[in-house]
Structure 1
Amino acid sequence: MKTRIVAAGVAALLITIGLAGKALAETIKIGATAGHHAEILEKVKPIAAKKGLDIVIVEFSDYVVPNTALDAGELNANSFQHQPYLDNQKADRGFRIESVATTVNFPMGIYSKKHKSWETVPNGATISIPNDPTNGGRALLLLQDRGIIKLKEGVGFKPSPIDIVDNPKKLRFLEVDAAQTPRSLEDVDAAAVNTNYATPAGLDPKDAILREDPKGPYVNVIAVRSVDKDKPWVKTLVEAYHTPEVKAFVAEKWKGSVLSSW
């Protein structure tokens, strides 16, 4: 009888400890664009859970709403943007958010369904680029790096087509929403497409006719509200993301088209 009482007591204690552990677990909402960022967070999720942090992933289809939702407190964090884009959003919209860790880099590519190499792109060709200042500027900087156009001095990371001072091929630029750049390929000679939109659309980064230097400044980040940056869950989230398991997943899944920063 005593043995049964002891066993029952131990079982009750274990249940109590288990319930206490669940009570201590913290839940956060993280915004991410559908595709690469969301898939990586799915890999981070079980690792974070073992550390007492439950992640709810909220997917978005554009680059604007995730920061708006984070600043409003509808999200605890987001993972979808690089630092130049975040800096631009903060300057334009007054968001009180900041980066707490780097994640992965998606080298931008210029793709074409009409031309197999840049050399065959004709004079007067139409090139679609993202219509947000940072990613559109990124596309123009890529073209400048390849000697195709020249931009005004001092334009930083946000040049626009009006900043072009030399354009020997008389290229025309069509600014469209970043998510729509893959679709625009049917109507233009070439398009500058972010990798997180290219691969879901069936584009292979290896087929880009021009590709950005992967060691540039466009590494993506995890962002949180400024008031939350020192909270314990932020450290737990970063530790869960910056693990060998996640790094191996990125390398195996995307074969070098997506590069981890740690």
Structure 2
Amino acid sequence: MKKFVLFLSLIILASLAAGCGKTEGSRALKIGIRGSESRTWDFVKEQARGQGLNIELVQLNANVNPNTVLLEGDIDANAFQHVAFLDQFNQKNKSDIVPIGSTIIAPLGIYSDKYKKIEDIPDHAKIAVPNDDSNWGRALLLLQEAGLIRVVDNFDGFGGADKIKDNPKQLEIVPVDGANTPRVMKDVAASIINNGVAVEAGFLLKDSLFHESKTAKPYINVIATTKQNENREDLKKLVQIYQAKEVSDFITQTYKGNYIPTQVTVDELKNFKDAFASKP
């Protein structure tokens, strides 16, 4: 009996020692992503493994908000959104998710299967735009850049019918679910499609009638996590790996200009609204 108790004690002590030996960095770092960037993240995972960082990619479909999954604690970080979208989510949910590093810009484009040039779009035409506030606002800015409308003074970046100041062609703006913007092209003159959605639908940026410039700071995509985890060393290492030249070269070669790798500071990301304030 004494031998059995001694044996059991040794097993328990060994288990405790093994548990104490595990560090935060030794477990898999769970990153929530969506399909449009899966090739990039598979490459990042390989690069990270070579540097002793174990990453588990959690694929989330369009019906699941990766920010909600993050807040529930099921993942350590996510990478699917631009900073304006993140800000909108935080405002609506009173959450405190923060960007910890930039990834890419995925330029928004105006696509049409009926017209070849922006100038060909007729009066009273229907233009489909993503219906979430931040991407709707982004679409309005793109239409302004294309010379089709003018947004209100002191534009705040969010969408809505009341955000249009001048609409000389009396275009009808039709908000639809962002994932459906390619599908409704047959019913509208043109559709403004998020780049990730366009890639999944088989479009290249060069297929668009017009697209936004690569310097659209509010729409830089980010790696994001909760406020309490923003200084974790494993997450900092993840950002460094993503922003390395090897990954940037992979993105450029793989996506042929659809995604543009970016490296800007976290302070610039957090101060993205300065870009709206500078508009007339």
TM-score bracket, normalised by the shorter chain, equals 0.7 to 0.9
Distance 1:227 1:115 in 2: 49
Q: Counterparts of 1:159-174 in structure 2 under 5 Å?
A: 159-174=159-174
CA contact (8 A) 1:144 1:150 kept: yes
Distance 1:56 1:31 in 2: 9
Give the letter for the 1:105 counterpart.
Answer: I
Q: Which residue of 2 aligns with 1:215?
A: 215
Deviations for 1:58-84, whole angstroms, at most 9, x for unmatched residues?
A: 122338610111111111100011111
Q: Which residue of 1 aligns with 2:98?
A: 98
Give the letter for the 1:147 counterpart.
Answer: G
Distance 2:170 2:249 in 1: 44
Superposition TM-score, scaled by structure 2 size? 0.82
Q: Which residue of 2 aligns with 1:188?
A: 188
Structure 2 residue 41 is the aligned partner of structure 1 residue 27 = no
- CA drift at 1:57: 1.2
Distance 1:253 1:23 in 2: 32
Give the letter for the 1:230 counterpart.
Answer: N
Distance 1:248 1:226 in 2: 30
CA contact (8 A) 1:112 1:209 kept: yes
CA contact (8 A) 1:51 1:236 kept: no
Count, aligned residues:
242
Q: Which residue of 1 aligns with 2:82?
A: 82
Deviations for 1:36-72, whole angstroms, at most 9, x for unmatched residues?
A: 2x22111100111222221111122338610111111
CA contact (8 A) 2:118 2:146 kept: no
- CA drift at 1:170: 0.8
Give the letter for the 2:35 counterpart.
Answer: A
- CA drift at 1:209: 0.6
Q: Which residue of 2 aligns with 1:117?
A: 117
Distance 2:174 2:24 in 1: 53
Q: Counterparts of 1:199-214 in structure 2 under 5 Å?
A: 199-214=199-214
CA contact (8 A) 1:150 1:166 kept: yes
Deviations for 1:183-202, whole angstroms, at most 9, x for unmatched residues?
A: 11121110000111101101
Shift in CA distance, 180/95, structure 1 to aligned 2, threshold 3 Å: same
Shift in CA distance, 63/138, structure 1 to aligned 2, threshold 3 Å: farther
Distance 1:69 1:51 in 2: 27
Q: What residue ranges of structure 1 are gaps of 5+ in the alignment?
A: 1-19
CA contact (8 A) 1:67 1:95 kept: no
Shift in CA distance, 248/110, structure 1 to aligned 2, threshold 3 Å: same
Distance 2:59 2:124 in 1: 38
Distance 2:171 2:106 in 1: 25
Distance 2:104 2:36 in 1: 13
Deviations for 1:214-249, whole angstroms, at most 9, x for unmatched residues?
A: 111111100011111111111121122111211111
Deviations for 1:69-112, whole angstroms, at most 9, x for unmatched residues?
A: 11111111000111111111111111221000000000100000
CA contact (8 A) 2:103 2:220 kept: yes
Deviations for 1:129-151, whole angstroms, at most 9, x for unmatched residues?
A: 00100011100011112221112
Identify which range, 218-227 or 50-59, moves more after superposition. Answer: 50-59
CA contact (8 A) 1:110 1:211 kept: yes
Q: Counterparts of 1:1-262 in structure 2 under 5 Å?
A: 25-36=26-37, 38-62=38-62, 65-217=65-217, 218-262=219-263
Distance 2:96 2:173 in 1: 33
- SS of 1:203's partner is coil
What is the RMSD computed on CA atoms of the aligned residues? Answer: 1.8
- Percent identical: 36
CA contact (8 A) 1:61 1:179 kept: no
- SS of 2:187's partner is coil
- CA drift at 1:23: 10
